[in-house]
Amino acid sequence: MMWWPVGSVSGWGWGAMALSMVLFWGLLILGGVVLVRALNRPSGGPDHASGPTPEEVLAHRFARGEIDQEEYRQRLAALSSTGLASKP
């Protein structure tokens, strides 16, 4: 027959068991939260950033009267020549 040690589990043993149980359940819950958040993440990354294109910003400035037609055409040509223009 197998016998337990005479001293049994001391206060530190109970504390270590309680702490390990809290850590176990905490890690399990944290893993579930991370998994759910990862699965619910919208597709597309930073390369699909939402926001106006450079041409749209330029068109809005022209529409608000911040720049005149000549400056609008010069800046649009500069965007097209540098390759910053959005391509459909």
pTM value is 0.42
Number of other CB atoms surrounding residue 21 within 10 Å: 10
Predicted pLDDT of residue 57? 92
**Residue in this structure with the two tokens 């000549």, named with its chain if needed:** 70
Asked if residue 17 is part of any domain, the answer here is yes
Domain that holds residue 57: 53-82
Is 5 inside a domain boundary?
no
Q: Is residue 32 part of a domain?
A: yes
70 part of a folded domain: yes
87 in a structural domain: no
Residue 43 lies in a domain: no
Chain segment 34-85, per-residue pLDDT in tens: 999 999 987 765 555 578 888 999 999 999 999 999 999 999 999 888 765 5
Q: How many domains does the chain have?
A: 2
Decide if 25 is inside a domain. Answer: yes
